[in-house]
Each structure stands twice: as structure tokens, then as C-alpha cells.
Amino acid sequence: MLRIAICDDDKVIGSEIESLILEYQQMIRSEFEIEVFESGVELYAYLKKGNSVDLIFLDIEMEDMDGIEIGEKIRVEMNDYRTSIIYVSGKDGYDRKLFDFQPLHFLSKPIEKKKIFADLELAIKLFKKNNHIFSFKTGHDMNRIPMNKILYFESKGRKVRIVTLEQEYLFYGTIEHVLHELPQKSFLQIHRSYIINYNHVKVFSYDKVMMQDNKCLSIGQKRRQAVRDMQLERSKEMTSWI
């Protein structure tokens, strides 16, 4: 789950950015966690408490603490080079110092939908490339699990069950949304109720797989070819290293 912060002292602009993010979220059938801040001081206090985000839409021109100062605090003081920053400005020119803070992009006001959609697409690609963490909510708590520890996901009505070797988790969601958050190279939906981590399969059979916890999961008839295709692809990769 991509966690996004919007920081702009203009409530209208902040609301507009949030609306476009929600529209994009619905379009790609994903789920974002969005926090909106109306001042740089609020955002800074939030981050100082240990809260983390993956992407910040950060207004440059703010009175209390501008985007340049916050960018410097994120990169230098907090030593955070993982969080992507998209600077938002009503001016045509940008302070060269901003480039020291490695922004993902710059957005000009008024905000254009196609540009913010393109930035969100890029941010998601970077997030999936650089993060191997699966995030989900239980109640008011945000949980994060390394993907390499996950054996499989199981659909349980309106909930999804996550199984690792150490423990299990249950959260509200759908198997379709989960699949969208996972790297296709490692995870595969083998049944309408199951998504497996290929790296944790002990035994492949024609109509089922045995996972590392010795649980046997059925392969749906319509998905057997996809499972065989992944096996073949992995075999080719292994052969190329020999």
C-alpha cells in the first residue's frame, strides 16, 4: 500500500490533489493511504514522530516552513532518501537548491490531471521496485511484512489471510487488490482463493502445490497453464546460471 502525504497551505490545492489521487486510485483498483497537511510544521511534526510515507506532494511556497526547508530536513536531518518528493509550485522557476534533495518531479499550479497521474504511475513503479514490503491494516494499525516471509494469501470471505512460517494475519480486503500489490515475478494466483509465493513451494503437482508449511493448496483448472508457464520460466532462469 502506497502511503502518500499532501502538504499545501492552500486548502483548495490540497483538496484538488487529494481528489485526483483518489480518482487515480479507483482507476487502477488499488488502495492508497493519504494524509493531508496544511502546513510544513504539521508535516514535519508527523514525520518526527516516526511516521513514514512513500510519496509527498510538497508545496514549495509556504509561510511557516517552506518546501525547501522540509526537503532538507527529510534528506539531511532524517537521512531519508527513500521517500519520493514531488514539489508543487505556483512559480515558473525553481530554486536550484531543490535539486540537492533529489525530487521525483515538479508540478506547476494549476494542477493538470494527466501530469499528476503520470507522477503517480512513476511513484508506484519505484515503490514496487525498491520496496519488498506488504502493508495492510488491522483496525487502526498499519502492519508491514517482508514479502519474502509470506508463503501464501487465502481469501476468506471479505477478509484475506496471510500465512508465514511464524504466524498468520487476517485483514479486510480482496484477493484482487492483494494481487495488484505484489511482484508478478514471485507471486502467482493459482486459484480464486489463493495467491502463492513461488519461492516457498516445496512440491508442484498437476492440480495442487505443497507449501513449506506442508499445506496443500488446489490449483484451479483455468490457472494450471499459468503455473506451468511460471515453472518453465523459472527453469530457464536456473539453466542460464549453469
Asked if residue 94 has pLDDT above 70, the reply is no
Query: Are 21 and 81 in a shared domain?
Result: yes
- What is the rounded CA–CA span in Å between residue 128 and residue 180? 11
- DSSP H helices, the chain, are 11-28, 40-48, 67-72, 113-130, 175-181, 224-240
135 falls within a domain: no
67 and 10 in contact (C-beta within 8 Å)? no
Residues 121, 218, single domain; the answer is no
Q: How confident is the model at residue 224 (pLDDT cuts 50, 70, 90)?
A: very high
Same domain, 9 and 121: yes
Secondary structure class of 148 (helix, strand, coil): helix
Instruction: Judge whether residue 11 has pLDDT over 90.
Output: yes
Please tell me whether residues 75 and 177 are part of one structural domain.
no
**Domain count of the chain?**
2
Given the C-alpha cell 489471510, which residue does it identify? 161
pLDDT recorded at residue 150: 94
Buried b or exposed e, range 156-168, using 16+ CB within 10 angstroms: eeeebebbbeeee
Domain span at residue 180 reads: 147-240
Q: Round to whole Å and give the CA distance between 166 and 38.
A: 41
Going by pLDDT thresholds of 50, 70 and 90, the confidence category of residue 187 is: very high
Confidence (pTM): 0.58
Given the DSSP bridges, would you call strands 32-37 and 2-7 parallel, antiparallel or unpaired? Answer: parallel
140 located within any domain: no
Cα distances (angstroms) measured from residue 26 to each of 19, 32, 122, 142, 173: 11, 10, 17, 21, 15
Residue 33 phi/psi, 5-degree rounding, is -105, 120
Choose the final residue of a domain: 96, 130, 164: 130
Q: How confident is the model at residue 63 (pLDDT cuts 50, 70, 90)?
A: confident
pLDDT: which is higher, 56 or 140 = 56
Residue 218, all three cell numbers: 488446489
The CATH number linked to 121 is: 3.40.50.2300
113, 176: one domain: no
- 97 and 11 belong to one structural domain: yes
Task: For residues 123 and 164, state if they share a domain.
Answer: no
229 vs 68: CA distance, rounded Å: 49
- 23 with 94, same domain: the answer is yes
Residue 142 placed within a domain: no
CATH assignment of the domain containing 174 = 2.40.50.1020
121 and 213, same domain (yes or no) = no
pLDDT in the model for residue 120? 95
What would the DSSP string read from start to end of 72-126? HIIIIIS---SSEEEEEESSSS--GGGGGG--SEEEESSPPHHHHHHHHHHHHHH
48 lies in the same domain as 96: yes
Is 32 within 8 Å of 21 (Cβ atoms)?
yes
162 and 188 housed in the same domain: yes
pLDDT at residue 164 in the model: 93
Distance of CA 118 to the CA centre of its chain: 16
pLDDT greater than 60 at residue 90: yes
Q: In this predicted structure, what is the pLDDT of residue 13?
A: 96
**Residue 212 resides in a domain:** yes
